[in-house]
Structure 1
Amino acid sequence: MPYTSVGRQIVLLGAGRVAQHLGPALWRAGHTVTHVWSRTPASAQQVATQIPGALPITSLDLQAVPAAELYILCVPDGAVPAVLAEAVFPAAALVVHTAGALPLAVFAPYAGLRGGVLYPLQTFSPGRLIDWPAVPFCVEAATPADEALVAAVARSLSQVVELVATPQRQQIHVAAVFACNFTNHLLGIGHALLQEAGLPFTLLEPLIRETVQKALAQPPFTVQTGPAVRHDAATLDRHRALLLGHPQWQQIYNQLTASIQAT
């Protein structure tokens, strides 16, 4: 792991997928995660056991958050305002969230806090290993000094750290949803269709790998293939007929076909 900063004392607020991966990674990078909090105490306990020296905060309320140099909110976007409103942080505490779409301005109502963003551009799932040095981090803070501190923490984990303001980060997040979440959903549809035919999903693996490799090597729109880009009406109609039993998937098929042809 790259390590370019003095280790910090950190409290994690949240015990979901981001915290499950980020907490141990921070410890391996030389930081001290002192406490983990969650609205589900068992989840806080589970994450804390994965981080040497970390203690779970057993209280559900946050009226006395333990002292730390940095507080990292690893809760869902919609829960960040509620946690900020409820928690009583030490004066002038530096608190960052890890969300892609949430603006830095979420900290504006709390004059006693120093707000920031530590957004890892990655998808997190149980049991998956994360190649942290390759994960891009988008960093933002209200002051240059705080931005430097948050960036130093990010650089202790990753070799790809960018200072990114809220509008650009939100654009990145939308792009990531298309590239990751929507793509995974489409792969899920492909998997289901092959299951219906009694065929293994592994048949698509070489095609998927080649598609991704091409898209990473050159602008994806320039290497588009398939019946939509060829305006192959007969094949498109056959596909629509095969999808009659799945009207929602047929609608997705039609919308993507129209988008490809328009692009």
Structure 2
Amino acid sequence: MQLSATISLRVGILGAGRVASQLGPALATAGHEVVFVWNRTAPAAKTLAAQLPGARALASLSAPLPAADVYLLAVPDAAVAPLLARTTWPLDAVVAHLAGALPLSVFDVQPTVRGGVFYPLQTFSPGRAIDWPAVPLCIEAADAAGEALLLGLAHSLSQHVRLLDSAQRLKLHVAAVFANNFTNHLLGIADALLAEANLPAELLAPLVRETVDKALASPPFAVQTGPAARRDAPTLAAHQAALARYPAWQALYEQLTASIQAQL
């Protein structure tokens, strides 16, 4: 399912990585014109631009940028401020970064632009299609007109658009790291332990699905199970012994056990 665009905007995309490679085609499908793509490495910009009707790949940012209604910074967080500072932007251009943890104040380095945030709360990986109508899009802007523009752009892609200030968005980003990145890392440890025992990873699939479904249906702390929640000392000791070959994982097991027991 794709939403219909109520507006058609000209968009410049700076960056051609995981997020941009998914966002660019979504914007084009929603009826927006991606005017150009720039990337630190030119081949990546050319590859993405070739997928977007009418878009051109910029070889550099040394010249004034092509006109656009909004410029989206799909670059690593650490690159946002330097990119803002060194680029010659059209006066009063609406420029939005896509980061969860960067405050709106990052735009203070470039007072000639109208800063904003267009943060998609999702994980992006090559080869994985994104269901954009289901992706929460979090918006913040320095002025009312910029906010209205970014809201219109967001509503053309998603059914879940929210205005969040920088402090709220930072808390959301931390929560997302726990829910996604840390969870994925723990699943990676589980996968490695199964492989060591010559057991298939799909054994855990029903358990993982039920865990996620239950956590989404109820407050997760209220439905905590397992040996830590039961304070099952013999089982906890057996698990720690089984992890003796992996000191880092053993320490993580102990820390998570302590955290669960402290929350009960």
Band of TM-score, shorter chain: over 0.9
Structure 1 position 150, deviation (Å):
0.2
Partners of 1:65 and 1:4 lie apart in 2 by 25
| C-alpha displacement of 1:54 | 1.2
* Deviation (angstroms), 1:6: 1.4
Q: Secondary structure at the match of 1:108?
A: helix
Q: Secondary structure at the match of 2:68?
A: coil
Q: Give yes or no for contact 1:65–1:89 (8 Å, CA) kept in 2.
A: yes
- What stretches of structure 2 of length at least 5 have no aligned partner? none
Residue matched to 2:258: 258
How far apart are residue 4 of structure 1 and its match? 4.5
Kindly state the Cα deviation for residue 66 of structure 1 after the two structures are TM-superposed: 1.4
**Cα distance in structure 1, aligned partners of 2:245 and 2:42:** 44
Residues 201-253 of structure 1: CA deviation (Å, up to 9, x unaligned): 00000000000000010100011010000000000000000101000000110
Question: Which residue identity does 1:50 align to in structure 2?
Answer: Q
d(CA) in 1 for partners of 2:90, 2:255? 51
Q: How does 1:47-196 map to 2 (within 5 A)?
A: 47-59=48-60, 61-196=61-196
The one-letter amino acid paired with 1:157 is L
**Percent identity between the two aligned chains:** 58
Q: Given residue 209 of structure 1, which amino acid in structure 2 is its aligned partner?
A: R
Amino acid at match of 1:189: I
Corresponding residue pairs, total: 262
2-structure distance, mates of 1:151, 1:250: 46
Which residue number in structure 1 is paired with residue 225 of structure 2?
225
Separation in 1, partners of 2:62, 2:100: 24
User: Does structure 2 retain, via aligned residues, the 8 Å contact 1:63–1:86?
Assistant: no
Residue 38 of structure 2 contacts residue 57 of structure 2 at CA under 8 Å; is this kept in 1? yes
1:200 aligns with 2:213: no
Q: CA RMSD in A?
A: 0.8
Q: TM-score, normalised by structure 1?
A: 0.98
What one-letter code is carried by the residue in structure 2 that aligns with 1:19? A
Partner of 2:237: 237
Q: Deviations over 1:50-85 (max 9, x none)?
A: 2122111122x4442211110000000000011101
SS at match of 1:249: helix
- Distance, in Å, in 2 between the alignment partners of 1:171 and 1:13 is 26
Gaps of 5+ in 1: none
Note the alpha carbon deviations across 1:163-206, whole angstroms, 9 max, x for none.
10000000000000000000000000000000101111000000
Q: Letter of the aligned partner of 2:148 in structure 1? A: A
State whether residues 81 and 109 of structure 2, in contact with CA within 8 Å, keep that contact through their aligned partners in structure 1: no
The 8 Å contact of residues 121 and 138 in structure 1, kept in 2 or not, is answered as: yes
CA distance in 1, matches of 2:64, 2:196: 55
CA pair 130-82 structure 1, distance change in 2 beyond 3 A? same
